[in-house]
Chains A and B, each alone.
Chain A
Amino acid sequence: MIPENFIQSNLQGISFIGPELILTLAILLILLVGVLLPYWRHRILFTILAVAGLAGSVLPLWKLPQPAPDLTYLSNLFVWDWLTFLSKPFFAVVGVLTILLTQVTGEIDNSEYSECTILVLAVTMGMMLLVASTDLLMIYLAFETMGILSYLLVGIRARDERSGEAALKYVLYGAFTSGTMLFGFSLLFGLAGSTDLLAISQKVAFASQHPQDRLLLIVAILFFLAGLLFKTASFPFHFWCPDVYEGAPTPITAFLSVGPKAAGFVLFIRLFYPLFATGHDATIYEAVSGLDWPSILALVSAITMTLGNLAAIHQNNLKRLLAYSSIAHAGYLLMGIVSLSDLGLRSVVFYLVVYLFMNVGAFAVVAMVASAGGSEEIDSYRGLGARAPYVCVAMAIFLFSLIGLPPFAGFVGKVYLFAAVIYKKIYWLAVVAALNTVISLYYYLRIVKAMFLEKPTETIQIQVPLSSRVLLLALLVPTLGLGIYWQPLARVVSGMF
């Protein structure tokens, strides 16, 4: 009886992991093509295959039943809720953009191109698995899939010393933190005797009443935080970020700054909300009594954004600058987590979506300028506005959006985050974030200033290929459009929580 049901439900469950399966197929196909055509000079085939795989991966989603918070499958390993439903296309978009960016910039040699696409697809698959997981073991597996493969991505340029060094740092740092997180998992498992989050959460609520167990929980939370703050590049586990971002190939940096970071935040929501927060019905949560993790996170958020912004001021390398900026943005995003409300969670998701476009956009411009003969140093942006107006206007828009100025999407995202903390009356954090916006203005404007206000050192027009322009346009449209009319996205995120 039982096995039959088990098989039955597993067979049904397979359809829920359709995207991951399709991605796996695509990976295999690319591998095969890569082996058959080792000297393939035209990377376009890999790109087409990868993009098709990613695009195809989201198709099954619409065939599936309506997501629901308690719809679990494959022996409660995964959940099929709105967060899962929407995260998968999000990661697919991240993957597609990364592939396209890799294609147009040519920063990665043909020899490494097929591996690169495979890795991007694989990391994407890991992220997709991660967001759906509701089991500690599965979470760890997916987390490591995403992690280890992204270490490889960072070091993809085997002959590039910087790339290699960055990868090594990433690996060691990542191993350390994920090990810590795993230890946290084991503590929880010891406490609850289960790896299922739902089951654990009931035990946690119970255990938090007892002082000795509470201590254990605190340690577990701290160890979780280590892993998550590492993935999201937040204080105090952000040190890897600038080195890795600078060392990695730019498209990969763009990918890391959005994909794994978003996955980290989704994991925050996945782990902390069922486990350590209660009261979903009232749209406001409360931390499990005795565990004041939101206050710590609020502090971490404030420090992270301040640190990131201040550190960014003196950077002359654009990738490094954007790395610090992404640390600051992690700080902003944490505001949504600490506000312990549906609005907060919505704001995180909303911000991640707009952050995807503007941040990838900014990195895309860096990559395009570098591939068009410039460098990543701010000096080479002097007077670029006159030499490559289209790219520079796009860059300016991305940067203004990152600052959070209307009418760009970043502004709306910030309004969401500010609204979340103000809703919960954490005014001091709102004010800190507001002042951080001002600080951030300074270094983003340094780039704008270099591009438009300063005289060019050369006068030759930079020719940006049409494909790059189209890619930029694809990123500009949502960056601008969501700033002016974001009602559709607002409806989507408000349906999620």
Chain B
Amino acid sequence: MTNLIDPLHMKNMLWLIPCLPLAGAVINGLLGKRLPVRLVHFVGCASVFLAFLISVAGFFTLLGIEEPHQRFLIQPLYQWILTVWHQGSFSLQVAFRLDPLSITLCLVVTGVGFLIHLYSVGYMAGDESQARYFAYLNLFTFSMLLLVLADNLLLMFVGWEGVGLCSYLLIGFWFTDLEKAQAGMKAFIVNRVGDFGFFVGLMLLFWTLFEGSNGTITGLGFQQLRESIPLLNSASPILGVGLATWIGLLFFVGATGKSAQIPLYIWLPDAMAGPTPVSAFIHAATMVTAGVYMIVRLNFLYVIAPAAMAVVAVVGGVTAFYAATIALTQNDIKRVLAYSTISQLGYMFLAVGVAAFSTGIFHLVTHAFFKALLFLGAGSVIHAVHSNDMLEMGGLKKYMPHTYLTFMAAYLAISGIPPFSGFVSKDEILWATFNSHLPVAGLGKALWALGLLTAGLTAFYMTRLVALTFMGGFRGGLEKEKHLHESPSVMTFPLMALAVLSVVGGVIGLPAVTHLPNLLHDFLGPVLSSHGASGHQAHAYWLELLLMLISIGVATTGIYLGWLFYVKRPELPGKVAARFAKMYQVLEQKYYVDEIYQALFVRPLLKLVALSGRFDLNTIDGAVNLSSRVTAKFSFLIGWEDLKIVDGAVNGLAEIFKRWGAALRHLQTGKIQHYLYSVVLGIFGLCVFMFLF
């Protein structure tokens, strides 16, 4: 392929990709109130669209470079942090890195992002603070692109927390509703818990490399990290666990926060409080994938830490299954999708945990398409019904044909029906899991089985969702039924675009069975460690095909059961629920995890807080006040010392004198005598001192 754009030019334009949305955010954020609403829309959408165009150009520029290992462009912008000491320095640049991995994410973020911006124009029409909305959305796009394009870990962390911030802002967008505001806060704080892991990992990584290299490692640039990562192997282990594993696990803690994995997934379902396009964009297509992206970005670290990888895989697999079980019983359409997102993210972690990094990214991409579509479709439904509760929907097929059709494409994709994109990527994950070489024997197979089961559950709950929403008759009441309508074209166009992508997205990563090239895998190859290139053994052709058929079978079974339960015999779910009442309740209450966390962490913390507040007021400040009171009391005594203490003593003495006889009594005429006694006492005292010394 010829070079459409000179790589040098492209390199100098990299900063535009994140900064265009930033400019949009600044314009809308500062001036939005005074701008006409159409201009706000234009700024919001155009900035992302331009970034998308540049990303496309970047993509082709990269492709234009012949040698795959040369396919990266780094634009250093300016020195960001520099501290120098005698034995070393800590130096970071603000630099953007365009390589196959980051451009893939860039295309998803700007591409899907643009569609969602466009959709928002329709969805948010009439809201009074659209400028704020678009500013936040653009700011989010900026943060995500910063995260993706950052050339060092700390800059990545800026984007990493930036998306957390935007998530907070957008979840609580309708802040007058206290619950929504609280959901935003929860998201941010839970994310911070993850960020804590990320940050500690970052510090441990830097200093281990710094000390291992005798101070020649001075930054956190990915190229440098990748080259020096073997130094971790020579560092002495902590508590018997190798440094690479520690660091890998700490970063994974960060990933579980951002990507909503066990144990930090709890914020994501609540995040559905935000406007639906936000859920589509942030909580399905982009931000939550940051954890996956980060681990793939650090693949060179993880391949030398098999134990950490195994943890990632297990957590991913278990989360996938666990979230799917919760999704079975939820009635809020967005909540079902939220748990499904958690579940799908679990798949991605499963993939990266078994070193199938490109497969993880593949699923990330296809998931971005179909999950965005699902959410936008749900948004379209909510837009019409004005409710999230699926029990108040039903039969929407006939009122919203476009939404229905596009939704079905995504539904089939997520359920794992070939040849939809979701099938291809999910199946590749299962195949990679089956083939994996995890440190514990049989773990790969077990995780495969779990993944397969999850696929069945996914098909089931998605069928349930579709059935409750689009099939049957409308349950929301006559009044509402009158107002049901298809969404405007500005909303349905993105749906269609995403539907097409959901259907055909699979072509970029075709499995080996097809004997066609796996484009994504080859494209990403240079950024991934050689170890990650597994899953393409030719001899396993039949095995792969067999497993594929099994998985199709499971998916079909899931769909059938769903159809049976919710279309054919709608009385069945109630019966089953009654039969397994305990279990049903546990699932419906999401395993009571929120309550458990509340009891385990939040309440003790609040107790500690109250205790600290009281301790400070009563004990520390109390001690200060007490010391001043004691001084005051003491001084009070001394202030009266001539009347009380000394006089007392003098009087006591006088009493004795008095008893000696009446002759002395006439001396007791007034205070002055006391003073004179005090002179005697004073001299006496001085004598005592003198002789004691």
Contacts and interface: CB of A to CB of B under 8 A. Distances in A.
Given A239-B646, A311-B638, A314-B636, A172 B672 contact: yes
Contact of B675 (A173, A292, A293): A173
B583 interface: no
Contact of B678 (A219, A236, A307, A315): A236
A179 to B, nearest CB: 10
B574 interface: no
A296 interface: yes
B675 A236 contact: no
B635 A314 contact: yes
B641 interface: yes
B639 A239 contact: no
Contact of B638 (A226, A295, A307): A307
A172 B674 CA distance: 11
Given A222-B683, A222-B687, A313-B639, A296 B675 contact: no
Given A180-B679, A239-B646, A315 B639 contact: yes
Interface string B650-693: 00000000000000000000011001101101110111011101
B679 A173 contact: yes
Contacts of A176: 676, 679
B676 A173 contact: yes
A295 to B, nearest CB: 6
Interface residues on A, range: 35 or more
B683 A313 contact: no
B632 interface: yes
A310 B679 contact: no
B481 interface: no
A216 to B, nearest CB: 13
Contact of B641 (A293, A295, A311, A439): A311
Contacts of B635: 309-314, 439
Nearest to A320: B639
B636 A313 contact: yes
B689 A313 contact: no
Contacts of B690: 218, 221-222, 292-293, 296
Nearest to B632: A313
B675 A239 contact: yes
Contacts of A315: 639
Interface of A is mostly: helix
B643 to A, nearest CB: 10
Interface residues on B, range: 20 to 34
A236 B676 CA distance: 11
B631 interface: yes
A172 B642 CA distance: 16
A378 interface: no
Contact of A236 (B631, B671, B681, B693): B681
Contacts, number: 86
Contacts of A219: 687
A264 interface: no
A66 B478 CA distance: 119
B615 interface: no
Contact of A226 (B631, B632, B640, B683): B683
B679 A177 contact: yes
A439 B683 contact: no
Nearest to A173: B675
Contact of A172 (B638, B646, B676, B682): B676
A242 B638 CA distance: 13
A133 to B, nearest CB: 24
A152 to B, nearest CB: 17
B634 interface: yes
Contacts of A169: 671-672, 675
A430 B681 CA distance: 28
A235 B638 CA distance: 12
Contacts of A230: 679
Contacts of A309: 635
A472 to B, nearest CB: 29
Nearest to B646: A239
Interface in B591-636: 631-632, 634-636
A125 B631 CA distance: 42
A310 B639 contact: yes
B638 A236 contact: no
Interface in B498-542: none
Given A222-B683, A299-B689, A172 B678 contact: no
B672 A225 contact: no
A310 B639 CA distance: 7
Interface string A281-310: 000000000001101100110000001011
Contacts of A300: 686
A307 B682 CA distance: 15
Nearest to A225: B686
B678 A239 contact: yes
A219 B687 CA distance: 8
Most buried by B among A172, A177, A310, A315: A310
A20 B682 CA distance: 35
A292 B686 contact: no
Contacts of B679: 173, 176-177, 180, 226, 230, 237
B105 to A, nearest CB: 62
A295 B691 CA distance: 12
Nearest to A229: B682
Interface in A40-78: none
A222 B636 contact: no
A312 B672 contact: no
A225 B679 CA distance: 11
A180 B683 contact: yes
A168 interface: yes
A332 B687 CA distance: 23
Interface string A231-249: 0000111011011000000
B682 A226 contact: yes
A309 B641 CA distance: 13
Contact of A240 (B638, B675, B687): B675
Contacts of A242: 642
Interface in A311-357: 311-315, 324
B635 to A, nearest CB: 4
Contacts of B682: 226, 229, 235-237
Nearest to A313: B635
B631 A439 contact: yes
A175 to B, nearest CB: 9
A445 B675 CA distance: 31
A239 B640 CA distance: 11
A285 B646 CA distance: 36
Nearest to A234: B682
A176 to B, nearest CB: 5
A315 B691 CA distance: 36
B684 to A, nearest CB: 9
A321 to B, nearest CB: 10
Nearest to A296: B689
Interface string A241-261: 011000000000000000000
A239 B671 CA distance: 11
A441 to B, nearest CB: 12
Contact of A311 (B639, B671, B672, B678): B639
A236 B650 CA distance: 14
Contact of B642 (A223, A239, A299, A313): A239
A80 B641 CA distance: 43
B634 A236 contact: no
A41 to B, nearest CB: 37
23 contacts: A168-B672, A172-B672, A173-B672, A173-B675, A173-B676, A180-B679, A219-B687, A226-B683, A229-B682, A230-B679, A236-B678, A292-B693, A307-B641, A309-B635, A310-B634, A310-B639, A311-B635, A311-B638, A312-B635, A313-B636, A313-B639, A314-B639, A324-B639
Given A300-B686, A314-B632, A314-B639, 14 more contacts: A169-B675, A172-B676, A180-B683, A218-B691, A222-B690, A226-B686, A236-B678, A236-B682, A239-B646, A242-B642, A296-B689, A296-B690, A309-B635, A313-B635
What are the 9 tightest A-B residue pairs by CB atom distance, in nearest-first order?
A: A236-B682, A310-B635, A313-B635, A314-B639, A311-B639, A310-B638, A311-B638, A292-B693, A314-B636
